[in-house]
Homo-oligomer: A and B are copies of this chain.
Amino acid sequence: MSAPQWVHERLVVDTPGKGFTNITERVAAVVRRSGLRIGQALVFVRHTSASLLIQENADPAVLRDLERWIESLAPEQRAWEHDDEGPDDMPAHARSALTRTSETIPIVDGRLALGTWQGLYLWEHRASRHRRELVVMLSGSA
Protein backbone atom coordinates (compact mmCIF):
# COMPACT_ATOMS: atom_id res chain seq x y z
CA MET A 1 0.00 0.00 0.00
CA SER A 2 1.48 3.35 -1.02
CA ALA A 3 1.53 6.45 1.16
CA PRO A 4 -1.85 7.89 2.10
CA GLN A 5 -2.74 11.04 0.31
CA TRP A 6 -4.87 14.12 0.59
CA VAL A 7 -6.36 15.53 -2.59
CA HIS A 8 -8.74 18.43 -2.85
CA GLU A 9 -10.65 20.24 -5.55
CA ARG A 10 -12.97 23.20 -5.49
CA LEU A 11 -16.30 22.70 -7.26
CA VAL A 12 -18.44 25.57 -8.46
CA VAL A 13 -22.11 24.79 -9.00
CA ASP A 14 -24.56 27.20 -10.64
CA THR A 15 -28.05 26.60 -9.30
CA PRO A 16 -31.37 27.60 -10.92
CA GLY A 17 -33.00 28.64 -7.63
CA LYS A 18 -34.79 26.29 -5.22
CA GLY A 19 -34.24 22.64 -5.99
CA PHE A 20 -31.72 19.85 -6.45
CA THR A 21 -28.59 19.64 -8.62
CA ASN A 22 -27.09 16.16 -8.95
CA ILE A 23 -23.35 16.43 -8.32
CA THR A 24 -22.57 12.71 -7.99
CA GLU A 25 -20.72 12.45 -11.29
CA ARG A 26 -18.60 15.52 -10.60
CA VAL A 27 -17.44 14.11 -7.26
CA ALA A 28 -16.91 10.66 -8.82
CA ALA A 29 -14.65 12.28 -11.42
CA VAL A 30 -12.50 13.80 -8.67
CA VAL A 31 -12.16 10.32 -7.16
CA ARG A 32 -11.14 8.81 -10.50
CA ARG A 33 -8.56 11.52 -11.15
CA SER A 34 -7.05 11.00 -7.69
CA GLY A 35 -6.19 7.35 -8.28
CA LEU A 36 -7.20 6.54 -4.69
CA ARG A 37 -8.48 2.99 -4.24
CA ILE A 38 -9.64 3.09 -0.63
CA GLY A 39 -10.54 6.06 1.53
CA GLN A 40 -13.24 8.67 1.72
CA ALA A 41 -14.64 11.71 -0.06
CA LEU A 42 -15.66 14.64 2.12
CA VAL A 43 -17.90 17.10 0.26
CA PHE A 44 -18.43 20.44 2.00
CA VAL A 45 -20.67 23.35 0.96
CA ARG A 46 -19.33 26.79 1.91
CA HIS A 47 -22.75 28.42 2.39
CA THR A 48 -25.53 28.48 4.98
CA SER A 49 -28.50 28.79 2.61
CA ALA A 50 -27.73 25.73 0.46
CA SER A 51 -27.00 22.22 1.67
CA LEU A 52 -26.18 18.66 0.67
CA LEU A 53 -28.35 15.59 0.64
CA ILE A 54 -27.94 12.00 -0.47
CA GLN A 55 -31.27 10.91 -1.90
CA GLU A 56 -32.96 8.66 -4.41
CA ASN A 57 -31.71 9.13 -7.96
CA ALA A 58 -34.47 7.22 -9.75
CA ASP A 59 -37.91 8.86 -9.63
CA PRO A 60 -37.72 12.68 -9.89
CA ALA A 61 -41.05 12.87 -8.05
CA VAL A 62 -39.13 12.07 -4.84
CA LEU A 63 -37.18 15.32 -5.20
CA ARG A 64 -40.32 17.31 -6.03
CA ASP A 65 -42.00 15.89 -2.92
CA LEU A 66 -39.01 16.76 -0.74
CA GLU A 67 -39.03 20.31 -2.06
CA ARG A 68 -42.73 20.84 -1.30
CA TRP A 69 -42.53 19.09 2.07
CA ILE A 70 -39.58 21.09 3.42
CA GLU A 71 -41.48 24.30 2.57
CA SER A 72 -44.06 23.16 5.12
CA LEU A 73 -41.39 22.71 7.82
CA ALA A 74 -39.76 26.11 7.22
CA PRO A 75 -42.49 28.30 5.65
CA GLU A 76 -41.86 31.74 4.19
CA GLN A 77 -45.09 32.91 5.87
CA ARG A 78 -43.65 32.49 9.37
CA ALA A 79 -42.86 35.76 11.21
CA TRP A 80 -39.07 35.61 10.89
CA GLU A 81 -37.08 38.38 12.58
CA HIS A 82 -34.27 38.19 9.98
CA ASP A 83 -36.13 39.24 6.82
CA ASP A 84 -34.05 41.99 5.19
CA GLU A 85 -32.58 39.62 2.59
CA GLY A 86 -36.03 38.57 1.35
CA PRO A 87 -38.75 36.17 2.55
CA ASP A 88 -36.86 33.13 1.25
CA ASP A 89 -33.64 33.84 3.16
CA MET A 90 -34.44 32.76 6.70
CA PRO A 91 -36.33 29.64 5.52
CA ALA A 92 -33.16 28.83 3.54
CA HIS A 93 -31.09 28.89 6.73
CA ALA A 94 -33.66 26.69 8.49
CA ARG A 95 -33.70 24.20 5.60
CA SER A 96 -29.90 24.05 5.71
CA ALA A 97 -30.05 23.40 9.47
CA LEU A 98 -32.29 20.39 8.84
CA THR A 99 -30.12 18.88 6.14
CA ARG A 100 -26.32 18.79 5.81
CA THR A 101 -23.38 21.09 5.28
CA SER A 102 -21.13 18.14 4.46
CA GLU A 103 -21.44 14.53 3.38
CA THR A 104 -18.70 11.91 3.66
CA ILE A 105 -18.81 8.92 1.32
CA PRO A 106 -16.50 5.89 1.56
CA ILE A 107 -14.25 5.06 -1.41
CA VAL A 108 -13.95 1.32 -2.05
CA ASP A 109 -12.19 -0.23 -5.07
CA GLY A 110 -11.52 3.23 -6.44
CA ARG A 111 -15.18 4.26 -6.50
CA LEU A 112 -17.71 6.06 -4.32
CA ALA A 113 -19.42 3.29 -2.32
CA LEU A 114 -22.92 4.69 -2.87
CA GLY A 115 -25.91 2.38 -2.97
CA THR A 116 -27.57 1.74 -6.33
CA TRP A 117 -30.32 4.28 -5.74
CA GLN A 118 -28.24 6.96 -4.04
CA GLY A 119 -27.25 10.25 -5.62
CA LEU A 120 -25.49 13.23 -4.05
CA TYR A 121 -27.36 16.50 -4.47
CA LEU A 122 -26.67 20.14 -3.82
CA TRP A 123 -29.94 21.52 -2.51
CA GLU A 124 -30.42 25.20 -3.30
CA HIS A 125 -32.72 26.89 -0.78
CA ARG A 126 -32.79 30.45 -2.14
CA ALA A 127 -35.42 31.44 -4.70
CA SER A 128 -33.01 32.97 -7.21
CA ARG A 129 -30.00 31.64 -9.10
CA HIS A 130 -26.82 31.27 -7.09
CA ARG A 131 -23.23 30.31 -7.72
CA ARG A 132 -22.25 27.86 -4.95
CA GLU A 133 -18.76 26.82 -3.94
CA LEU A 134 -17.93 23.38 -2.58
CA VAL A 135 -14.74 21.72 -1.40
CA VAL A 136 -14.14 18.06 -2.23
CA MET A 137 -11.45 16.67 0.08
CA LEU A 138 -10.33 13.11 -0.58
CA SER A 139 -8.14 11.03 1.67
CA GLY A 140 -7.02 7.46 1.23
CA SER A 141 -4.48 5.17 -0.34
CA ALA A 142 -3.67 4.34 -3.94
Q: Which residues of A contact B (CB under 8 A)?
A: 1, 3-6, 8, 38-40, 42, 44, 46-48, 53-56, 59, 61-62, 64-66, 69-70, 73-74, 78, 80-82, 90, 93-94, 96-106, 108, 113-115, 117-118, 133, 135, 137, 139-141
Contacts and interface: CB of A to CB of B under 8 A. Distances in A.
Contact of A55 (B5, B38, B48, B139): B48
Contacts of A80: 65, 69
Nearest to A52: B101
A103 to B, nearest CB: 7
Given A69-B78, A115-B48, A8 B108 contact: yes
Contact of A65 (B64, B81, B99): B81
A38 B6 CA distance: 7
20 contacts: A1-B3, A4-B6, A6-B140, A6-B141, A40-B42, A40-B139, A46-B114, A48-B115, A48-B117, A53-B97, A55-B96, A55-B97, A56-B93, A62-B90, A65-B90, A69-B80, A102-B105, A104-B104, A106-B135, A139-B139
A100 B54 CA distance: 9
